[in-house]
Chains A and B, each alone.
Chain A
C-alpha cells in the first residue's frame, strides 16, 4: 500500500522502494521480448546474433529488476536457454560420425521455430481483437447492460448439457454459502461414503422426473457431506446413470436419471459399487 510519502522521491528507483507501484506496459513474455529485440536490432530471425540478443535480453531483465517489476520465472528460463545456446555455439562442432551424414542442427533452430510460431499466434490474436466485436463495435438485441457476454441464450431452446466447469462452479457457490469452520464438531458421527451418497441420491430421485441441483444439498449438511454428495454426483454422471442439464445458460441446474437407469441390466453392469 502506498503510504502518504513524507519525502518526495528524487528518483524513480527510490520511489519504487517506498512502495509506489508503477504500471508499465511490460512484455507479454520472454518470446514477446525476444521478438521485440530482434525487430529493434533489425536482424534476421533465421540468423539471430545470439550474443548480442542475449546481452540485450539480460540487460532488460536487470532493468526490470531495478524497476521492481515482477520478474516472472519464465523470463529467467529463457535467459538460461539463451545462455545455453550461446555456449553451444561457442563450442566446436563434433566431427560428424562416419556413415551418418546427418547435419548438426543449428542450436538456435528450436528457438527460431518457437519465435515464429509465437509470432503467428500473436498476430492472429491481434487480428481477432481487431474484428468487429459484439458489444464493442456491433450490437445485437438484447444487449444486457452493455455486456453482451452475459445473458446469452442459445438459439435452440433445447436443454443444455453442462460441462464440468459449470458444474464445479455451481458447487463452489454452494460451498461458499456454508460456514467454513464450526467449532467443536464431533468427528466421525456423520460419515458418509460415496456409495452411501450415491444410493441416497438415487433413492431421492426415485419416482421423480428430475431434481434441482441445489436441493441435493440440504442446508444442515456439513461441508464434508456436501463434498461427498458432489463426488457421488460426478460418479453417477461418469457411469451415465444421471444427466445434468440446464434449461438456459446460467439458469437452474437439473438432474435427470438418464435412460440407462431404466434399463436395469445395463445399469447394474455399469455400477462398480454394486
Chain B
C-alpha cells in the first residue's frame, strides 16, 4: 500500500468521527502537519466532494467540519432511516428563533415577545438540548437566562451564531431595543451569602 496523502487521512478521520471536527482537533490528531496545511487539505477535500457531485459533502457546522449527505438524497435516505424525522412546531421555531437572536434571554422576555406562555415549549427545547441554561440575570428574582446550544447549530446546519440568517429589517422601526443589554452571570459564581 502506498503512503496515504494528508487529504486521505483527514477524509478518514472525518468519516469515522461522530460529530463535527474542529480544525483544532484535527491539528491535534495530526502533529506531523502544519495547521495551515491541514486547513488547506480540508478545503481541497470539500471542493473535491463538490466537484465530483458526490452523495456526501463536507460542511462547516457548529465550528467544525462534518461529512453530511447532500439534501438531494433526502427522499431516498428518509426511507431507510427508521422513525419520524425531527419535527418542529411553529411555537418551537418561534421560541428557538427568539432565543437564538436575543440570547441571553429570560423566559419572561421570550413571553413578552411571543405574547403567550412559553414554559412548556422551553422545557421541550431544553430536553432536546437545543437550548440551555446560561446562568441567572442579576435583577430582582434572579431569573434564569437561556441560550442556544452546540446541538442547535448542528441540527440547524449552522456554522456559528453569526451564520444565522439576518433578521428582516423593518424600515422606520424604533431603534430603541425593548430590553437593555444584559450581563451574563455564571452559575455558581463568587457570590455567596444566600443560604
Chain A residues with CB under 8 A of B115 = 29-32, 74, 78, 114, 118
Complex CA–CA separation, A3 to B48 (angstroms)? 62
Chain B residue at minimum C-beta to C-beta distance from A134 = B155
For chain B, the bracket of interface size reads 35 or more
B12 at the interface (CB under 8 A from A): no
Q: How many residues of A contact B (CB 8 A)?
A: 59
Taking a contact as CB atoms under 8 Å apart, the answer to whether B170 and A120 are in contact is yes
Report B149 CB to chain A, min CB distance, Å: 9
Chain B residues with CB under 8 A of A237 = 188
Taking a contact as CB atoms under 8 Å apart, the answer to whether A116 and B100 are in contact is no
A28 at the interface (CB under 8 A from B): yes
A49 at the interface (CB under 8 A from B): no
Taking a contact as CB atoms under 8 Å apart, the answer to whether B151 and A149 are in contact is yes
Residues of A76-126 at the interface with B, using a CB-CB cut-off of 8 Å, are 78, 113-114, 116-126
Taking a contact as CB atoms under 8 Å apart, the answer to whether A138 and B157 are in contact is yes
Max count, chain A CB within 10 A of own CB: residue among B25, B77, B115: B115
Taking a contact as CB atoms under 8 Å apart, the answer to whether A139 and B168 are in contact is no
Contacts known (A74-B116, A135-B155, A147-B83); A113 close to B174, Cβ less than 8 A: yes
Contacts known (A140-B68, A155-B21, A272-B192); A165 close to B132, Cβ less than 8 A: yes
Complex CA–CA separation, A137 to B57 (angstroms)? 13
Taking a contact as CB atoms under 8 Å apart, the answer to whether B117 and A72 are in contact is yes
Contacts known (A117-B178, A118-B115, A165-B133); A155 close to B22, Cβ less than 8 A: yes
Taking a contact as CB atoms under 8 Å apart, the answer to whether B68 and A134 are in contact is yes
Complex CA–CA separation, A152 to B116 (angstroms)? 32
Taking a contact as CB atoms under 8 Å apart, the answer to whether A142 and B18 are in contact is yes
Chain B residues with CB under 8 A of A136 = 74, 78, 85-86
Max count, chain A CB within 10 A of own CB: residue among B67, B91, B116, B167: B116
* Residue in A154, A163, A239 whose CB lies within 8 Å of B187: A163
Complex CA–CA separation, A89 to B20 (angstroms)? 56
Chain B residues with CB under 8 A of A142 = 18
Taking a contact as CB atoms under 8 Å apart, the answer to whether B116 and A29 are in contact is yes
Report B46 CB to chain A, min CB distance, Å: 15
Contacts known (A125-B96, A136-B86, A152-B154); A163 close to B132, Cβ less than 8 A: yes
Chain B residues with CB under 8 A of A113 = 173-174, 178
B53 at the interface (CB under 8 A from A): no
Chain A residues with CB under 8 A of B86 = 133-136, 147-149
* Residue in B22, B100, B168 whose CB lies within 8 Å of A128: B100
* Residue in A133, A139, A152, A270 whose CB lies within 8 Å of B156: A133
Taking a contact as CB atoms under 8 Å apart, the answer to whether B150 and A125 are in contact is no
Taking a contact as CB atoms under 8 Å apart, the answer to whether B151 and A152 are in contact is yes
Contacts known (A164-B133, A239-B192); A153 close to B18, Cβ less than 8 A: yes
* Residue in A114, A148, A163, A238 whose CB lies within 8 Å of B155: A148
Taking a contact as CB atoms under 8 Å apart, the answer to whether A128 and B156 are in contact is yes
Contacts known (A29-B116, A132-B157, A272-B192); A125 close to B90, Cβ less than 8 A: yes
Interfacial residues, chain B to chain A (CB-CB below 8 A): 15, 17-22, 24-25, 64, 66-71, 73-74, 77-78, 81-86, 88, 90-91, 93-98, 100-101, 112-117, 126, 128-130, 132-133, 150-151, 154-158, 164-165, 167-168, 170, 172-174, 178, 187-188, 192
The 3 closest A-B pairs by CB, nearest first: A29-B116, A125-B93, A146-B83
Other A-B contacts than A120-B170, A140-B67, 12 sampled, CB-CB below 8 A, are A31-B115, A119-B170, A124-B97, A124-B165, A131-B158, A134-B155, A139-B73, A140-B68, A141-B18, A141-B67, A155-B64, A272-B192
Q: List 30 A-B contacts (CB under 8 A).
A: A28-B91, A28-B114, A114-B112, A114-B115, A118-B113, A118-B114, A120-B170, A121-B94, A121-B98, A122-B94, A124-B167, A125-B90, A125-B94, A129-B88, A129-B93, A131-B156, A133-B155, A135-B86, A136-B86, A139-B77, A141-B15, A146-B81, A147-B86, A148-B155, A153-B19, A156-B25, A163-B187, A164-B133, A165-B126, A238-B192
